[in-house]
């Protein structure tokens, strides 16, 4: 999943790099036991290119079409892609950096690929809570501000990896970002303490703990 998501990002955000570093393997070349195919694969290996199956490439193209059809994405023509932002002294004894997928005039788009139905509002909300996407947005906003780049608007573009390749675009509320900032502040305080003391406590308990799996009525 990570590999496919990375290839999709490269195709959308760095098409020139995709053309140079990725080779599409036709279905007739998939069987490496055939002599002609062995020669084809040997040349690919010599070039050092990454191979993507033909049906995977077709998925990438379909996903890219769904992504580009989103109205907010159409207005991002001319945006900077894969923008690296550095903030030295972001926190005491902590330098920070982030990599923004797309940015234009203070508008940011972050791309997420997901499973079938994962681009629906309900599923993306669940995924966002699980992976703390609000933390990512709040952190990136603050790092960018420290580096002199103000982010006015943040969009999450979510594209499914299975037909019919549904795509959605979302924003978080200001309350969500404010809460994420408070939680991040606590996390950075913990990190600073760990760095100062060179002590990295485990997240698992050292003594047996009783767990309540189901709440009472």
pLDDT of 159-172, one tens digit each? 999 999 999 999 99
Q: What is the mean pLDDT of the chain?
A: 93
Q: What is the pLDDT of residue 216?
A: 59
Residue 202 has pLDDT above 60, yes or no: yes
How many residues are there in the chain?
217
Residue 78 has pLDDT above 60, yes or no: yes
> For the whole model, what pTM was predicted?
0.87
Beta 153-160 vs 107-114: how paired, if at all? Answer: parallel
Instruction: Indicate the SS3 state at residue 150.
Output: coil
3-class SS string, the chain: CHHHHHHHHHHHHCHHHHHHHEEEECHHHCCCCCHHHHHHHHHHHHHCCEEEEHHHHHHHHHHHHHHHCCHHHHCCCCCEEEEEEEEEEEECCEEEEEEEEEEECCEEEEEEEECCCCCCHHHHHHHHHHHCHHHHHHHHHHHHHHCCCCCCEEEEEEEECCCCCCEEEECCCHHHHHHHHHHHHHHHHHHHHHHHHCCCCCCCCCCCCCCCCCCCC
Q: What is the pLDDT of residue 166?
A: 97
Query: Quick one: average pLDDT of 71-79?
Result: 95
Contact 9, 110 (CB under 8 A): no
Query: pLDDT digit string (tens) for 134-184?
Result: 999 999 999 999 999 999 999 999 999 999 999 999 999 999 999 999 999
Query: Quick one: average pLDDT of 53-71?
Result: 95
Crossing angle between the packed helical segments 174-197 and 133-146, to the nearest 10 degrees: 80
CA 46 to chain centre: 30
């Amino acid at each position: 999943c990570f590999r496919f998501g990375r290839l999709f990002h490269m195709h959308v955000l760095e098409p020139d790099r995709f053309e140079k570093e990725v080779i599409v393997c036709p279905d007739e070349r998939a069987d490496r036991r055939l002599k002609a195919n062995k020669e084809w694969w040997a040349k690919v290996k010599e070039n050092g290119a990454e191979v993507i199956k033909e049906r995977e490439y077709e998925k990438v193209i379909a996903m890219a079409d769904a992504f580009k059809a989103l109205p907010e994405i159409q207005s991002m023509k001319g945006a900077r892609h894969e923008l690296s932002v550095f903030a030295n002294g972001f926190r005491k004894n902590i330098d920070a950096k982030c990599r923004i997928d797309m940015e234009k005039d203070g508008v940011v788009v972050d791309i997420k690929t997901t499973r079938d139905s994962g681009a629906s509002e309900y599923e993306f909300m669940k995924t966002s809570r699980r992976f703390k996407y609000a933390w990512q947005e709040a952190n990136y906003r603050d790092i960018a501000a420290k580096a002199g780049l103000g982010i006015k608007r943040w969009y999450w573009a979510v594209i499914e990896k299975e037909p019919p390749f549904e795509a959605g675009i979302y924003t978080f509320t200001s309350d969500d970002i404010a809460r994420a900032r408070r939680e991040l502040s606590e996390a950075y305080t913990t990190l600073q303490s760990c760095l100062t003391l060179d002590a990295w406590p485990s997240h698992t308990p050292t003594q047996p703990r009783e767990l309540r799996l189901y709440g009472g009525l």
